[in-house]
Amino acid sequence: PTPLPTSSATALPTLPPTATLEPPPQPTATTAPAIERVLIFSLDGLRADALTPDGTPNILALAAAGASTFSAQTILPSSTLPSHGSMLSGYEVAEHGLTWNDYIPSNGYIRTPTIFTLAHAAGLRTIMVVGKEKLEHIAVPGSVDRFVYVPGGDFEIAAAAVSEMAGGFGVFFVHLIGPDAAGHQYGWMSSTYLGTVSYTDEAVRRVLAALDEAGLRQTTLVILTADHGGHGTTHGSDRPEDTTIPWIVAGPGVAPGRTLNTPVRTFDTAATAAWALGLVLPPDMDGQPVIEAFSMP
């Protein structure tokens, strides 16, 4: 089947930035290093209240090193593909068009720009390493240099991400799936779910360790979030257990230990990543950069 045309997602007009969306200041002798790249983690099905010092020390260490909120909200329906469409494009579902939640190649691709189209147009290398094949609907042809689907667990996904990192990147998206799988099988917030979240926390640690070993951490903005939560063995509703997600950002210029008061929506992820890289945000984008996270001089 022929995919949908993607001209609307690839032909991006050059638009002047608005006064309120100026990119972060370039470094001087007294400012932090500039942000050269962005690493985005999505932990599929991770409820914000599943994060604990004993169970998820690495994720909470990232939060302590940066700015965070544990009451961010995803879109409706609180399902994987629609939510990731918003997370990675900056648009509501009605605009980006990914209303389904399966891998259906004949449906084509997301119809809005994404963080990948914006970054790729600026000459940055873009990578997606995912645990669900349906996220390929976000990888508009010509926007993602490396799309890697890993049909395995979070340690396998992390290993693939570490391998891909060696080639360098401008925007890197890592999608870990353990919490969602455990939630559907054993129930959200069950002991098995929480144990799986700990396993996913270790997968995050492995990717961040590789970032450190490559000497890239000091110039990389890291965003860690989720697509949705869950209740019982399901999700997709407007219940707070389904819609409430963590949102953590750390890296150059981010205020360490800051609790965000700004209401954060999942589509703010793409907006924050693009703004941090100095990219021009489309004027109709629903998301806004979470500027409160950054310590401005």
DSSP track, the chain: -PPPP-HHHH-PPP-PPPGGGPPPPPP-TTSPPPP-EEEEEEETT--GGG--TTT-HHHHHHHHHSEEEEEEE--SS--HHHHHHHHHHSS-HHHH-----S--GGG---SS--HHHHHHHTT--EEEEES-GGGGGG--TTT-SEEEE--S-HHHHHHHHHHHHTT--SEEEEEE-HHHHHHHHH-TTSHHHHHHHHHHHHHHHHHHHHHHHTT-GGGEEEEEE-S---BTTB--SSSHHHHEEEEEEESTTB-TTEEP-S--BTTHHHHHHHHHTTPPPPTT-S----GGGB---
- pLDDT one digit per residue (tens) for the chain, 297 residues: 444 433 333 333 333 333 345 555 443 333 446 999 999 999 999 999 999 999 999 999 999 999 999 999 999 999 999 999 999 999 999 999 999 999 999 999 999 999 999 999 999 999 999 999 999 999 999 999 999 999 999 999 999 999 999 999 999 999 999 999 999 999 999 999 999 999 999 999 999 999 999 999 999 999 999 999 999 999 999 999 999 999 999 999 999 999 999 999 999 999 999 999 999 999 999 999 999 999 864
For the chain, domain boundaries: 43-252+264-293
Instruction: Please report the pLDDT score of residue 206 as a whole number.
Output: 99
Instruction: Please report the pLDDT score of residue 33 as a whole number.
Output: 60
Q: What is the CATH number of domain 43-252+264-293?
A: 3.40.720.10
Statement: the pTM of the whole predicted model exceeds 0.85? yes
